[in-house]
Amino acid sequence: KQEVTQIPAALSVPEGENLVLNCSFTDSAIYNLQWFRQDPGKGLTSLLLIQSSQREQTSGRLNASLDKSSGRSTLYIAASQPGDSATYLCAIYSGYALNFGKGTSLLVTP
Amino acid sequence: SAVISQKPSRDICQRGTSLTIQCQVDSQVTMMFWYRQQPGQSLTLIATANQGSEATYESGFVIDKFPISRPNLTFSTLTVSNMSPEDSSIYLCSVDEGWNYGYTFGSGTRLTVV
């Protein structure tokens, strides 16, 4: 069974900092990896989708990388803003349904 | 990508009662997925709903507790039956938009059972 781990569980940074969120998974036989954002008590917003054949994807200030051989993905957020405060979830699709990590709770302070 | 309307957004319910959550998608989709997110935990798949057939439930989830309907390709409901405080969670529906778009989620239903 695919296990997905996200480190750190929580992170607090001052506005303007660049930061990296980590996601690791145990089975490298994946189809794709998706990063989501979740605001408190709300649903999930898709941020980036990386196919298994890709190494990275970029959208605005966000960059996600994928290294299947080592079972790792990172989400890089440049020039963080208070509006980036949320929980970030990593999810793996291995052919049936998504397997989620527990998320990283990010707080960006003004 | 698809837009999913999920209702209600939140509810506070008495133990022993039932709540039905609705998800409406703005396009036709083959499969819809229902997830539960308990406080402080990640998302757990409850069941997969195909139109015209019974839902497929994951280990630990049963139809009597979480009956699901899928009357057409754009709509599904999940009922949480005979609720207890342990059912207090966020419930989310989702669709798979395929290779290029991944999964899209509804806005979630925050359920509190008192």
The DSSP call for residue B87 is G
* Residue-level length of chain B: 114
* Amino acid (one-letter) located at B110: R
The residue to which tokens 């529906």 are assigned: B93
- In tens, the pLDDT along A65-78 reads 999 999 999 999 99
- Residues in CB range of B103: below 8 A, 6 or more apart: A34, A46, A91, A93, A98, B33, B94, B95, B96, B97
Residue B99 has a pLDDT of 78
Confidence at residue B52, expressed as pLDDT on a 0 to 100 scale: 81
Q: How confident is the model at residue A5 (pLDDT cuts 50, 70, 90)?
A: very high
| Closest residue in chain A to residue B102, using alpha carbons only | A49
Q: Report residue B17: phi and psi, to 5°.
A: -95, 180
Q: What is the pLDDT of residues A36-45, one digit of tens each?
A: 999 988 889 9
Residues of chain B numbered 3-22 and touching chain A (CB < 8 Å):
6, 10
| Spatial separation of the C-alpha atoms in residues B113 and B23, rounded to whole Å | 21
Mutate to test the interface with B, among A2, A45, A98, A105 (most CBs of B within 10 A): A98
CB contact under 8 A, B45 and A101: no
**Alpha-carbon gap: A101 to the closest alpha carbon of chain B (Å):** 6
Q: What is the pLDDT of residues B65-98, one digit of tens each?
A: 999 999 999 999 999 999 999 999 999 999 998 8
Name the 3-class secondary structure at B85.
helix
Nearest CA in chain B to A38: B107
A82, B33 contact by CB (below 8 A): no
Size of interface A-B (CB pairs under 8 A): 54
For residue A97, what pLDDT is reported?
A: 84
- Whether B74 has its CB under 8 Å from any CB of chain A: the answer is no
